Structure 1
Amino acid sequence: MPRRHHAPELDLFPFLSVLACTIGTLILMVVVISTSSLQKDRSNVQILARETAQGEKTPRYVECLAKGVLIHPQRTLVPTAQLDSPTAAFTKLVNQIKSRPSEYIIVAVRPDGFDCFEKARAVVEQAGVAIGFEPFNADWKLCLKQPCQ
């Protein structure tokens, strides 16, 4: 009886399974690495003042927290209860800016500092000083003109 020769069969299913698992693992690594790098970049945030057509105004930065207003760059904290006091550093800052029409106040409002912001805004608007504000996440770090660290 003559022997029949069967052509050898090649099964690619195990190779394709390994290839699919490798591609899936690489996609997961890319997602994890890109997500972690985005989170690091978002922790330091800089507020950029918008230029106006009327002329250039210089911003003065303050931050509203639960315990009070933090004046930058000196990082002077004025408690919320003392915001409208004539001797408080915040009132002095507002009066100083009132005498200089080329300056205005930008406020970074933290989630726990909204009540403080309402009181600070009333003081600033009563003095007739221009004000801008930006909601600011609790874990962000405010960076001014110097590089963030």
Structure 2
Amino acid sequence: MRRRQSHPPQLDLFPFLSILACTIGTLILLVVVISASSLGRERTNVQILARENAQNEGRTPRYLECRREGVIIHPEKVLVREADLGKPTSTLAILLANLRRQGDREYIIIAVRPDGFDCFEEVRYQAERAGVALGYEPFNAEWELCVPAPGRSNCP
């Protein structure tokens, strides 16, 4: 007498797993290609947006850019050399005095270049001493600061 063994039917998952592995590989390749293409694009014209919150609501931002050679006051693009930052007759000191007199109508946003941290420390010290509100953003060396024209919220 022959004994009958009852084995459940076997299900082969190899085709499913191979399709799943190919799909995952394709998605990884797609992520790598998209990431590499976005890294290759240079952002040359960048605007620092003023954030509307309770502290600066209704205020107009004034833009400064700290570099190795000094601070650039925008939109006029006046350079105040680092050696002149501490002088009471510098353009920066005059700007801070005007902002202090205006009260809470304007504040400063500072773009800090990688080589401009020493300049930034001096500008921040002077602004805090003058009682002027300020904000700051690190700024890549290759980017160009886009400052909106007075009365506009975006760059051209």
Query: TM-score by structure 2 length?
Result: 0.69
Q: Report the counterpart of residue 62 of structure 1 in structure 2.
A: 64
Name 2:93's counterpart in structure 1.
91
Runs of 4+ residues deviating >6 angstroms: none
How far off its partner does 1:45 sit? 1.1
How has the CA–CA distance of structure 1 residues 143 and 35 changed in structure 2, closer, same or farther, with 3 Å as cutoff? farther
CA distance in 2, matches of 1:97, 1:89: 12
3-state SS, counterpart of residue 119 of structure 1: helix
2:136 equivalent among 124, 128, 133: 133
AA aligned opposite 2:129: Q
Question: Equivalents in 1 of 2:112, 2:118: separation in Å?
Answer: 10
Q: Offset of 1:40 from its aligned partner? A: 3.9
Give the whole-Å Cα distance in 2 for the aligned partners of 1:50 and 1:89: 26
Percent identity among equivalent residues?
56
Secondary structure of the equivalent of 1:106? strand
Q: In structure 2, what is the equivalent of residue 45 of structure 1?
A: 46
Aligned to 1:118: 121
Structure 2 spans left out of the alignment, 5+ residues: 1-25, 149-154
Q: State the distance in 2 between where 1:97 and 1:76 align.
A: 17
The one-character-per-residue Cα deviations of 1:99-141 (angstroms, maximum 9, x if unpaired) are: 1121000000000000000011111110010010000010011
Deviations 1:65-89 (A, max 9, x none): 0000000001000011111211110
Map of 1:106 onto structure 2? 109
Compared CA separation, residues 144 and 35, structure 1 to 2 (3 A): farther
> Which residue is equivalent to 2:78?
76
Matches of 1:110 and 1:96 in 2, distance apart?
25
Q: 1:84 to 1:38 in 2, by over 3 A?
A: same
Aligned partners of 1:39, 1:76: CA distance in 2, in Å? Answer: 32
- TM-score, normalization by structure 1: 0.72
